[in-house]
């Protein structure tokens, strides 16, 4: 909106709504200390969830988008499969917001494997594997995952997020210690909360902080677990695995590496962080990964020692009390592992594209944070409203890039997160970077959204 232009009646009403939300009183909740003083409780028919403070916050966010003249950038409806391009409302766009790192989504052999599995086994295994048994494709997939990581065995779950929640929440308890990187994925955070263990978050990549936390706390706890990501999903950087292994040995701790974004990305053969950094994979206690990214399917898994996997198969709630991976899902992931090994050029092309994007972004003066240019490269904008507006401007130019804003990241770290794949062309990458270069200064120099709210 031009600084001299008056808002329309509809826009002014929206501004007034947001002003009221910022200025109005916040609801308070008090706990009654005496049961005798408690008033009778009336029973409501159909509670209005729209009255919750959390919903009020959503309304504020929507109103902010209306003021800026932009649509909700989340939950956009796509018409076709995820690839280097997509279609939104019939309009083809270059796509940088999908995890198909190796371009295997829709690969004829992967599709054929999924269809064959449906023909033979149907669309569901219909029950928990513990109670109703398993199928050969479960064992084949888990054997392939174990081989990929270079460990004894693996077990698959129907959800990547639930894998971390269930495994961490089940292996650790109130007498234990969990130390994580501050930028660890939400699934690890939720699993740590569920466990009831003492939780310590260390500054991102700060090995001295990890060591200090272990030195000061390890002896007071039964078990200790260190959790890091193989390739950090917001920043695209990697941890020093060798140093972490030394720490876990010194303090008798377990080390867990979440390879959701690094398996099929790092290493010459896509075997992840251990291959990338020339580490013996058996020196890591728990390898976790997902099937939904480079392996173009859905679900999660844990790989490691035979005893660990056997323990999880009989005790992990996310496996014991949940249906097994559906036939087409497991078959597609298994086929993707095979195709990754047979078509190794995809890994090389992915790394070339990631480096090309990173170098091009830096050459244009963008803040790419700590990214190593593997498959995730952020362009840090610095404020949530500006990031959302920039995403909208890029969409107008034909590029789909979803914004990452507070509380997903700190407010001053709001960013556009680009997922690079082996299918992206130099022309697509240059086009996106040129579009950012053209629009970012306009967005940063536009009148402040908060000034509009304040009536200035």
The domain boundary, picked from 326, 342, 358, lies at 342
SS3 200: strand
160 plus 191 within the same structural domain = yes
Q: What pLDDT sits at residue 453?
A: 43
Q: What pLDDT sits at residue 377?
A: 98
296 plus 180 within the same structural domain = yes
239 CB-contact burial (10 Å; exposed 0-12 / middle 13-18 / buried 19+): buried
Q: Which residue has the tokens 């002003």?
A: 19
Query: Can you give the CATH number for the domain in which 438 is found?
Result: 3.90.1150.10
114 plus 237 within the same structural domain = yes
Does residue 7 lie in a domain region?
no
Cα separation, 177 vs 221, in Å, equals 6
Q: What pLDDT sits at residue 116?
A: 98
Cα separation, 405 vs 386, in Å, equals 10
The domain boundary, picked from 313, 342, 371, lies at 342
Does residue 5 lie in a domain region?
no
Cα separation, 190 vs 198, in Å, equals 13
C-beta separation of 294 from 354 below 8 A: no
171 plus 270 within the same structural domain = yes
258 plus 135 within the same structural domain = yes
Does residue 130 lie in a domain region?
yes
Q: What pLDDT sits at residue 68?
A: 67
141 plus 259 within the same structural domain = yes
Does residue 357 lie in a domain region?
yes
Where helices occur in 69-156 by DSSP H, the ranges are 108-121, 129-132, 136-149
**How would you write the pLDDT of the chain (456 residues) with one tens digit per residue?**
444 445 455 545 544 544 444 444 444 444 444 455 555 666 666 788 988 998 988 888 788 777 767 778 888 888 988 899 999 999 999 999 999 999 999 999 999 999 999 999 999 999 999 988 899 999 999 999 999 999 999 999 999 999 999 999 999 999 999 999 999 999 999 999 999 999 999 999 999 999 999 999 999 999 999 999 999 999 999 999 999 999 999 999 999 999 999 999 999 999 999 999 999 999 999 999 999 999 999 999 999 999 999 999 999 999 999 999 999 999 999 999 999 999 999 999 999 999 999 999 999 999 999 999 999 999 999 998 899 999 999 999 999 999 999 888 988 999 999 999 999 999 999 999 999 999 999 999 877 654 544 444
Q: What pLDDT sits at residue 334?
A: 98
Does residue 40 lie in a domain region?
no
By residue range, what is the domain housing residue 139? 108-342
Cα separation, 213 vs 201, in Å, equals 9
Which H or E run contains 290? strand 286-290
Does residue 293 lie in a domain region?
yes
Query: Can you give the CATH number for the domain in which 218 is found?
Result: 3.40.640.10
256 plus 355 within the same structural domain = no
The domain boundary, picked from 342, 374, 405, lies at 342
Q: How far is CA 169 from the centre of its chain?
A: 19
176 plus 221 within the same structural domain = yes
Q: What pLDDT sits at residue 23?
A: 46
Report DSSP state, residue 128: B
SS3 266: coil
C-beta separation of 252 from 287 below 8 A: no
> What's the structural domain count of the chain?
2
96 plus 118 within the same structural domain = no
160 plus 295 within the same structural domain = yes
Does residue 439 lie in a domain region?
yes
Does residue 19 lie in a domain region?
no
Q: What pLDDT sits at residue 408?
A: 85
295 plus 388 within the same structural domain = no
338 plus 373 within the same structural domain = no
């Amino acid at each position: 909106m031009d600084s001299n232009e008056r808002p329309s009646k509809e826009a002014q009403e929206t501004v007034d709504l947001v002003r009221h939300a910022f200025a109005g009183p916040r609801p308070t909740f008090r706990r009654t200390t005496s049961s005798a003083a408690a008033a009778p409780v009336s029973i409501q028919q159909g509670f209005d969830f729209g009255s919750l403070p959390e919903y009020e916050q959503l309304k504020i966010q929507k109103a902010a988008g209306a003021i800026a003249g932009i649509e909700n950038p989340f939950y956009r409806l796509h018409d076709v499969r995820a690839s280097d391009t997509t279609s939104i409302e019939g309009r083809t766009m270059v796509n940088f917001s999908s995890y198909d790192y190796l371009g295997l989504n829709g690969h004829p052999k992967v599709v054929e494997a999924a269809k064959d599995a449906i023909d033979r086994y149907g669309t569901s295994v219909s029950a928990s594997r513990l109670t109703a048994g398993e199928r050969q494709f479960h064992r084949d997939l888990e054997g392939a995952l174990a081989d990929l990581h270079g460990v004894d065995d693996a077990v698959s779950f129907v959800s990547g997020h639930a894998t971390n929640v269930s495994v961490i929440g089940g292996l650790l308890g109130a007498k234990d210690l969990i130390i994580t990187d501050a930028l660890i994925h939400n699934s690890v955070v939720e699993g740590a909360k569920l466990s009831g263990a003492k939780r310590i978050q260390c500054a991102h990549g700060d090995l001295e902080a990890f060591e200090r936390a272990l030195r000061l706390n390890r002896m007071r706890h039964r078990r200790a677990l260190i959790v890091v990501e193989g390739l950090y999903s917001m920043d695209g950087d990697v941890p020093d695995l060798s140093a972490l292994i030394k720490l876990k040995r010194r303090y008798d701790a377990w080390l867990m590496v979440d390879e959701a974004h690094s398996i099929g990305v790092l290493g010459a053969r896509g075997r992840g962080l251990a291959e990338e950094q020339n580490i013996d994979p058996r020196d890591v206690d728990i390898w976790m990964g997902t099937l939904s990214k480079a392996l173009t399917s859905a679900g999660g898994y844990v790989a490691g020692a035979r005893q660990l996997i056997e323990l999880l198969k009989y005790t992990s709630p996310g496996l014991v009390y949940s249906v097994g991976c559906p036939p087409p899902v497991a078959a597609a992931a298994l086929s993707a592992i095979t195709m990754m090994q047979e078509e190794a050029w995809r890994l090389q092309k992915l790394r070339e594209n990631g480096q090309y994007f990173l170098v091009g972004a830096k050459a244009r003066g963008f803040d790419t944070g700590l990214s190593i240019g593997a498959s995730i490269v952020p362009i840090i904008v610095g404020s949530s409203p500006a990031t959302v507006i920039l995403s909208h401007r890029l969409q107008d130019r034909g590029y789909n890039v979803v914004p990452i804003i507070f509380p997903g990241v700190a407010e001053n770290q709001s960013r556009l997160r680009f997922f690079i794949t082996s299918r992206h062309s130099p022309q697509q990458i240059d086009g996106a970077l040129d579009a950012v270069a053209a629009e970012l200064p306009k967005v940063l120099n536009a009148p402040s959204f908060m000034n509009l709210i304040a009536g200035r």
